[in-house]
Chain A
C-alpha cells in the first residue's frame, strides 16, 4: 500500500527556473513531513521538513507548502541550479509509527 504518492517521476528545469514536486498522503495520523535529497551513491539527506500546524515553511531557496485538508504537500525550489540535480523524496511519519514512509522519488535535472 503506497501511502505517499509523489509526482512527477522526473523533472527537467532550466537554470534559474522553479522546480515543483508534489506529494499526497493517505494516513491522517502523519504529523511530520520531511523532504530528502539524494545524490547518486549517497544516502538521503534532510533538506527541509514541516509539521501540519503551519501551511508553509521556507529555508533559503526551498519552500514547503502544506495543505492539511487536501492531504497534500509540495516542494518548491526557487532559482534552480545545476547543483540541485538529484533525486528528491517526500516522506511522512506519525506518532503511531516511528518509521518514515517515502514517496517514489523525483529525479530532477537542472539544465545550465
Chain B
C-alpha cells in the first residue's frame, strides 16, 4: 500500500473486553513500532519488531498487552481485559531499515475508548 494502514480507526470496548488492533506496514519495511498516545500527549513507545522478531517490548505497560508479527509484515497489538486507562490512540510506525535513525512512517492510529 501507499502508507501504513491501521484498523479499525475507532474501537469502543467495554471494560474487561479483549481487543485486537491491526497494523499493515509499508511493503518491504523491516522495522515496525507500536506507540501509545494519550490525549494531549506525545506518543510513548510500546514495542518494536525487526521482521518477525520482537526485539524490544520494554514499553508495554502490563502483561495484558501483547504484540505479534508472525510473518514479518502485518502486526497485531492485543489488549486483554481492557481498563479505562487503556483509552488512547495506538499508533503504528514502520521504517525501511533495521534501525530507527531514519524516517519513521506512521499510520493514522486506532482510537481506543474503554467504557
Contact = CB atoms under 8 A, between A and B. Distances in A.
Question: Do chains A and B stick together as partners?
Answer: yes
Contact of A46 (B50, B59, B104): B104
Contacts of A84: none
A93 B59 contact: no
Chain A interface size range:
20 to 34
A69 interface: no
A101 to B, nearest CB: 7
Interface residues of B, number: 27
B106 A98 contact: no
Given A98-B56, A105-B41, 15 more contacts: A6-B42, A43-B93, A44-B43, A46-B105, A95-B101, A98-B50, A98-B100, A99-B33, A99-B48, A99-B56, A100-B35, A100-B45, A101-B45, A103-B42, A105-B40
Interface of B: 4, 31, 33, 35, 40-45, 48, 50, 55-56, 59, 91, 93, 99-101, 103-109
